[in-house]
Amino acid sequence: MEIFPKNKIVVGMVGLPGRGKTYIAKKIARYINWIGFKSEVFNTCQYRRDLYSEKSFTADFFHPHNTEAADIHQDCSNRATNDLISFLSEGGDVAIFDGINESVEKRRNFKKTLDENLSSYSLLWVESICNDENMINDSMQTLSSSCPDYKDFDSNSAIEDFKIRIENCRIQYQELSKQDDGNETPFIKLYDFGHQVLLNNVSGYLESKIMSLLMHIHNKQRPIYFSRHGESLYNVDNKVGGNPDLSQRGYKYAANLNIFLQDEMKERRINKKSKFFSSTLKRTIVTAGAVDIGIQAVPLKRLDEISTGLYDGLTYAEIEERYPNEAEERKKDKLRYRYPEGESYMDIIQRVEPIIFAIEKSKEPVIIVAHQAIIRCLYAYFCKFDIEDVPHLSVNLHTVIKLVPENYQVHEYKYNLERSQNHTPVYEKRLI
């Protein structure tokens, strides 16, 4: 008996413009890739921009009576569908069809095409419905500055045009229902970004994983801070595992981290409602304990460093000398290599999955003081690194990684607290 079904999964997005469909689609793909499966988003709007870049995509383009635009929409939908089918046929696991998919007829035609081209698959519809005017206005503000369709518009003109676009799309819009394709149609309806979630006939391993993710996400912007503990005595000796104290250099970093986070508090980037977590090991307890911002770090066992099992307390040189075959196996596949009586990076990804959900769910800033392997796994999720890269990501001692996720991008900053006295980032990048 197979643990996981061999079926391919197709996730079809449904929703009016400005409802966060692309944001949700990218979250799903990022998460599915992070847990070890292959996922890709096929965004019909991106096909439209790539193939018909000479066209103007103002609100009139989205009116149902615009026959030329209707042909373009259909062409882009067909191309995205064909690429989606090829992706699944060539080894992909979860394909996400990101478009408005506004009518029952369109959704049925899409399913018919899948039936004709895929021998075995499951279709899950995900609809984003937003009735909260504040959320809609926030979304339009973001889109007016980040949506490629409005790159030549000022903010006010973009917002006004986008409002008309929504109303033009609403003319033919039909919400998902059990009548779409019979009562068995699996779907998830998200109201106001998870304030209410309606499920219908959702089953299966990956479908349940997607459901769990969607019950935790929101679109409120807030910073996320990752820091390793200060240098430990084992770091000095190049030993693995253990529960050592900090070195003198490590204690100095703890003091610097306190100053950094106090400055972030003064700038109102964090507040006393922020979530603050550490591992249960001494080196993170001491590092986090030096931070005086009116919040106590909550120690979580899930944030403990990767277990090195029988190698606990050895140096890497000693491991190579005593267990050369094991050392060679680790070099071959660091992601899946499991320390004897210990853990692998894949084990860690499973262990910290609830931490990912907790971070996603929090609408307040999040601060985590943990360990290299743990932060590599968390960092890889938010910055969309390939799972094979996880064990090799750079997570240096005495450096704070600050991430600010937005609807279409993640702003990443790194602060080396030994090199930067005025807390200027030594690294800054915007990740799409």
pLDDT digits (tens, 9 = 90+) for 209-252: 999 999 999 888 899 999 999 999 999 999 999 999 999 999 99
The whole-number pLDDT of residue 180 equals 75
Task: Report which of 315, 317, 313 is spatially closest to residue 241, judged by C-alpha positions.
Answer: 313
Residues 6 or more apart from 177 whose CB is under 8 A from it? Answer: none
Domains of the chain: residue spans and CATH? 8-214 (3.40.50.300), 224-431 (3.40.50.1240)
| Residue 59: other Cβ atoms inside 10 A | 18
What is the reported pLDDT for 390? 97
pLDDT of amino acid 2: 39
2 class by beta-carbon count within 10 Å (0-12 exposed, 13-18 middle, 19+ buried): exposed
Global pTM reads: 0.92
Kindly write down the DSSP assignment for every residue of 182-193, as one continuous string: -TT--EEEEETT
Asked if 207 and 125 touch (Cβ cutoff 8 Å), the reply is no
- How do residues 6-36 score in pLDDT, each as one tens digit? 589 999 999 999 898 999 999 999 999 999 9
DSSP character at residue 195: T
**Mean pLDDT value of segment 302-327:** 96
Tell me: pLDDT of 179 over 80.
no
Catalytic site positions: 98, 130, 229, 305
Q: What percent of the chain has pLDDT over 70?
A: 97
With 0-12 CB in 10 A as exposed, 13-18 as middle and 19+ as buried, what is 128? buried
Q: Quickly list H helices, 383-426.
A: none
**Mean of all residue pLDDT scores within the chain:** 93
